[in-house]
Structure 1
């Protein structure tokens, strides 16, 4: 059965009635680009009332484009037929996606929130985009629990929420604080109220994550006209100036990785295929470097900084700064005075970090981008030679090693024709211009990144709409009921995760089944020959079986294979021992015995012929 995640949508929660028929037709439609109608909002009316009450500016018809990023966010608006990135109150063109509550319980968003994070790590939220639309028991959520200083809790509905000062907030609410900041930035520039937006999401976001992003927009007082994929938005920004050809967009941001293949021709942007990893980005690079720095300090000073949240936050910020500096220099120094103390006095952190060392620490993360790229090319049915240009999007693409990997995958140097930090927001603004009718010469044809289907008898995922299908689309198929005269059917709409997880799970199940068989046959052989083999050999076989059982309790295919080979090697010694014993007993008859056996064997073969 394919690994699938339940779509958090009304369709997934509803039941389709079959009215006693023996078969029913189920139609599944996919259109990630279209937002829910305003009448279908899941938010209380008080949010709309609050928005109207606090809006003192005349309502304008502008549609802003927002790149709601894991690390930084950006807002853009169309000026005529040209997108313009708007600077925030601090004068920066991007805003940190950081939310905090200070000691007075005042809300801080953006640069002020990030600035006080060192002294207030428990009440400073960052990287919450990774939690949006995720369940608490999701393996990625459990991984995130170990990476952040703030509390991640299990919400009443089973989702992953965060807790600050005893209050729980959904990731959508946290995202809404950032979106509200973007909205205010746009309103300050335009001089009028803004109520409509196009928001970007990673191309590999599933339906639950997309719906949660729309909810964040509504909480912020925005009507989300459309949700578009980040690589697609970047391509819109690139192709605005009459660029044409087959384009690969490599988008490695703060928390997610996407790759898309698009064809641009006569103003038509057609996405051929998309792939990615929703848990790979700059946050992982920071964590890898942070772990190294913590271990180095422990090795030299014998002090574990992980027990000091303030020290870890200082080190986290220093790691992020060093990562940025190493994109333009070959080495940098990390100096943090009074990072800790012991009986001998204050301890200072001072280390020189080279680019080569940093690259060795994060090489395994960079290599994880290779497989999605190859899969995307395969799904699109094209070769690297057919790609005309590779666009780099996201701050992490400034890392020289990342650019080197991109060059190796696609066989050509990546283009720097777009700003990695601003291209996505500009593309969202262009899409807003298309929706308003300001930009009429462009047409966007996007795809659904994950397959859609329903659960059928036996827990089988029956695919109706394949991944990388151009949307909007719909598919109908007739299904029979599981029993005669069945009056109703519960329909579970599922969204398939990427095939690699399916293959990995199947491989794990298969290897565990094989290991079970190996244990059974090994124990059977051991019990049969226990009295005929040395005690040392029996103990070795028992130890190999125990090791194999321990490996089976985990999820490592390679570990199970290794222990299974060890068990097979150990049990093969039984045969070796028995053969040695048999050979010595029959050696007295010499060569004549062997010759006597050969003659009838030859006569037998001739008779058969």
Structure 2
């Protein structure tokens, strides 16, 4: 029998998290014992071993910052030390991992839901930034499982937000942009709604940009202007961070505010008036970092700003008036602010959970791959199997053969990226497929890429001669690369487009030349005197031009292609005679002549 238990929708946020469920056909967000829907994504680990989650943990941050974990979402699925942001705490000293901390937050959300629903729950849909890679998505799923939840689907946050708006706000056939600036991450997605189907056309973002960065920048600004007898310790810095966050929120509604901390360094009080004008000047460089991602997402989707029907703001940081004005400047239209920016993602997760459980119908959610996936082929080229922005879940494959004679196996390097050469992309994993040695082109290996609804990749390689399958489960996509390089990849593919394409064309032409020259030499030797001196001279001259083009500095792809074509043309008559000879020998062997 199908499982009819409710499926939770969870927004596991950098700063705050929410949980909800579809009840009587309506998506609702659930409140805790104090009536609060927002649960701070904070966990305090006391020296006695107790674990406190949410608002009580956040209150401990000023008293014990090294044992209070916040913004753990920035660390999940990443190696220690990666990225530009480093936390004020050390998870290793606390004896926990980002997955375990996230699991504590999810346990708290699960408990809130069970109290509100008065029944056990064990299934959930969890949202992640659209630019989360495979390792980060997997780690989020592991956190859910550790919290006692079966994670039915991992959904990208902008897609969930669009679903929240789209269910009752948009008409058919609409194109929308979702600008999501949260506590720790920024995402921009362009989506299209058509006949009840949401399809992500493109996505871009920065996993290390959000409200947390604004708070820290404000703290640095305050400290630069303060006259202190000694540098503040961790506890005082945490107090200042809280004060900075409060000031930031006030400046969304007021023209100025006062940051005051009595006896901040033990002797001197800290007092600073901050105007909205000064605040906006301070944070503008951070907000401007979102422009390139917005323009890239529009370009990838093939959509002009004026062709958008809606621009939606998501994430608490979009409450800042400067962000409103900046988004209007980029897209040429006022953004839609009809939904609560803190709750839109969670609401979308709840709607998706309702769709999966059968509580809501007639809406389909389609996500996309953020970067292309493929394998390295002979000559060091990137052969794309699943292109960037392909709708997931998806499956695609190709057949490959041995490039040299007597090859006993094929090394399949799984790559992620947008560059033409394998060396410029990221290796996600590798697998060797053995097969019986034989002539060039005798082996047949089928390679299939399959991405599930959570964006997790499985690679299957099959030797068609023996039907032996080798399966590679990619669990740590791009973990050896900083998240900043995810954003750089697409920019580099544009910057080096001409050089990359020239190198690909050159490599393909070189491989053809290296195959053509020995074949021509063998054919000339085979026919011997049957080839006239004039024919031989023309062919040898053409072959010499190919060798010259191969050896010339600078990798002139156009010249090598032209030389290959000239040699092809010069040997056409020879090729016809080879084919006729082969057919005649075949007929003799079969006794037909």
1: CA distance, partners of 2:273 / 2:21: 42
Match of 1:78 among 22, 29, 32: 22
Residue-by-residue CA offset, 1:173-204 (whole Å, 9 max, x unaligned): 11111011110000000000000000000011
* Displacement of 1:301: 3.5
Q: How does 1:223-238 map to 2 (within 5 A)?
A: 223-238=150-165
1: CA distance, partners of 2:380 / 2:218: 42
Match of 1:150 among 82, 89, 92: 89
CA 1:213–1:246: 2 relative to 1, 3 Å: same
Aligned to 2:587: none
Match of 2:59 among 115, 125, 132: 115
CA 1:502–1:198: 2 relative to 1, 3 Å: closer
* SS of match in other structure, 2:14: coil
* Displacement of 1:295: 1.5
Aligned to 2:224: 295
Aligned to 2:511: none
Root mean square deviation of aligned Cα: 2.2
Residue-by-residue CA offset, 1:368-391 (whole Å, 9 max, x unaligned): 111111111111111111111111
CA contact (8 A) 1:453 1:465 kept: yes
Aligned to 2:75: 131
Residue 447 (1) aligns with residue 435 (2): no
Residue 283 (1) aligns with residue 208 (2): no
CA 1:242–1:389: 2 relative to 1, 3 Å: closer
1: CA distance, partners of 2:159 / 2:223: 39
Aligned to 1:68: 12
Q: How does 1:370-519 map to 2 (within 5 A)?
A: 370-456=291-377, 461-481=382-402, 483-496=404-417, 498=486, 500-501=488-489, 503=491
* SS of match in other structure, 2:104: helix
Structure 2, unpaired ranges of 5+: 418-484, 499-593
Asked which structure has the greater RCO (Cα within 8 Å, sep 6+), the reply is 1
Residue-by-residue CA offset, 1:11-39 (whole Å, 9 max, x unaligned): xxxxxxxxxxxxxxxxxxxxxxxxxxxxx
CA contact (8 A) 1:60 1:194 kept: no
CA contact (8 A) 2:367 2:391 kept: yes
2: CA distance, partners of 1:315 / 1:438: 46
* Displacement of 1:264: 1.8
Q: How does 1:569-608 map to 2 (within 5 A)?
A: none
CA contact (8 A) 1:72 1:94 kept: yes
Match of 2:197 among 255, 268, 271: 268
Aligned to 2:188: 259
Match of 1:337 among 248, 254, 262: 262
Q: How does 1:22-37 map to 2 (within 5 A)?
A: none
* Displacement of 1:500: 3.2
Aligned to 1:249: 178
2: CA distance, partners of 1:498 / 1:150: 26
* Displacement of 1:442: 0.9
* SS of match in other structure, 1:260: strand
* Displacement of 1:240: 1.4
CA 1:329–1:499: 2 relative to 1, 3 Å: closer
Residue 87 (1) aligns with residue 31 (2): yes
2: CA distance, partners of 1:470 / 1:422: 26
CA contact (8 A) 2:205 2:487 kept: no
* SS of match in other structure, 2:410: coil
CA contact (8 A) 1:60 1:192 kept: no
CA contact (8 A) 2:260 2:270 kept: yes
Match of 2:149 among 213, 222, 231: 222
2: CA distance, partners of 1:506 / 1:226: 33
* Displacement of 1:457: 5.4
Residue 319 (1) aligns with residue 240 (2): no
2: CA distance, partners of 1:89 / 1:208: 34
* Displacement of 1:458: 6.7
CA contact (8 A) 1:200 1:424 kept: yes
* Displacement of 1:435: 0.9
2: CA distance, partners of 1:505 / 1:269: 28
* Displacement of 1:163: 2.2
How many residues get paired?
Answer: 427
CA contact (8 A) 1:73 1:95 kept: yes
Residue-by-residue CA offset, 1:213-272 (whole Å, 9 max, x unaligned): 100110000000001111111111111116222211110001111111112233221221
2: CA distance, partners of 1:506 / 1:375: 10
Aligned to 1:103: 47
1: CA distance, partners of 2:494 / 2:325: 33
CA contact (8 A) 2:85 2:208 kept: no
Aligned to 1:197: 124
1: CA distance, partners of 2:323 / 2:108: 31
CA 1:79–1:264: 2 relative to 1, 3 Å: same
CA 1:210–1:365: 2 relative to 1, 3 Å: same
Residue-by-residue CA offset, 1:268-324 (whole Å, 9 max, x unaligned): 212211111111111111111111112112xx335332xx11111111111111111
2: CA distance, partners of 1:74 / 1:60: 22
* Displacement of 1:454: 2.5
2: CA distance, partners of 1:84 / 1:457: 54
Compute the TM-score of the two structures, normalised by the length of structure 1.
0.67
CA contact (8 A) 1:242 1:267 kept: no
CA 1:485–1:135: 2 relative to 1, 3 Å: farther
2: CA distance, partners of 1:437 / 1:60: 9
* Displacement of 1:105: 2.1
* Displacement of 1:80: 2.2
Compute the TM-score of the two structures, normalised by the length of structure 2.
0.69
1: CA distance, partners of 2:413 / 2:76: 22
* SS of match in other structure, 2:102: helix
CA contact (8 A) 2:175 2:191 kept: yes
2: CA distance, partners of 1:356 / 1:289: 13
Q: How does 1:534-573 map to 2 (within 5 A)?
A: none
